[in-house]
Amino acid sequence: MANIDDDVVAGFGEEWSRYDQSGVSRQELKRLFDAYFSVFPWEGLTKNAIGFDIGCGTGRWAAFVAPQVGLLHCIDPSRKALDVAKMNLQEFSNCRYHLASVDEIPLPDSSADFGYCLGVLHHTPDPIAALNACTAKLKAGAPFLVYLYYAFDNRPVWFRAIWRLSDFLRRVISRMPYSWRYAASQAVAAFVYLPMSRFGLFLEKSGAKIDSFPLSYYRRSSFYVIGNDSLDRFGTRLEHRFTQTEIRHMMAKAGLEDIRFREAPPYWCAVGIRKCAE
């Protein structure tokens, strides 16, 4: 059985067609990119490095990676998403596009100098198998960057309780027809995400510590990014969440070592190095 959920893929196709990143500034995208890639060992790559972007979506990360490497394979199971990526990356001649799921990555095993997969594997039926499929394509010594939804293991009990309430809402919204999903997610963005995030910004400017304040991560985000993430969060039926310990174990079992985590949002973004053959 393919490690893919057709409803999830269709939903992301619609999402990336709507949120093609044309409404977000280059500066804001770069800020997001820098956060996700803060632990990535760029110093270990050459200008001729060959790598892959699993679940490339709109190509928003590839736009910053492609200028730094020799060849980048952009892989996504949604044709609509891939069409958006092609449009956004048309200035780069070193990008190749593949319509494929994570268990059908069209690259030889042990062939890539690096790889990354951000915000994708937790939406597959079997994230562990998906991670193994990714790391199998890496050469020994190649880095792999992954971002998986975290289980709020570093948050207080009350924070996790709020999340459980929001997850109930997600389960309801994500089963609606797409147009309803979109409308509901934007209502959440406008009446929950936006006011709470801006209140977090107010508290920060007032000198308060806001590390555990809900949605403070979005305090400087545009409404475009907030709306995009709200649709991503509440419009997707299938998701898994993991603790840092679980992610570390998954990565080690997938053949990665020297695992490092970003100790700031977004949690848990991590990088590991493909083990050398013994």
79 CB neighbour count, 10 Å cutoff:
11
Spans of the chain, pLDDT less than 70: 1, 277-278
**Predicted local distance difference test score (pLDDT) of residue 143:** 98
Nearest-5° Cα angle at 102, 101 to 105: 85
N residues, the chain: 278
Strand partners, 121: none
Structure tokens at 181: 């999903």
**Predicted local distance difference test score (pLDDT) of residue 276:** 82
179 CB neighbour count, 10 Å cutoff:
9
3-state DSSP of 37-99? CCCCCHHHCCCCCEEEEECCCCCCCHHHHHHHCCEEEEEECCHHHHHHHHHHCCCCCCEEEEE
pTM assigned to the model: 0.95
**Predicted local distance difference test score (pLDDT) of residue 278:** 57
**Predicted local distance difference test score (pLDDT) of residue 217:** 94
Name the nearest CA neighbour of 95 among 106, 81, 105, 85. 85
Q: Which residues contact 97 (CB under 8 A, 6 or more apart)?
A: 74, 75, 82, 85, 86
**Predicted local distance difference test score (pLDDT) of residue 63:** 98
**Predicted local distance difference test score (pLDDT) of residue 212:** 86
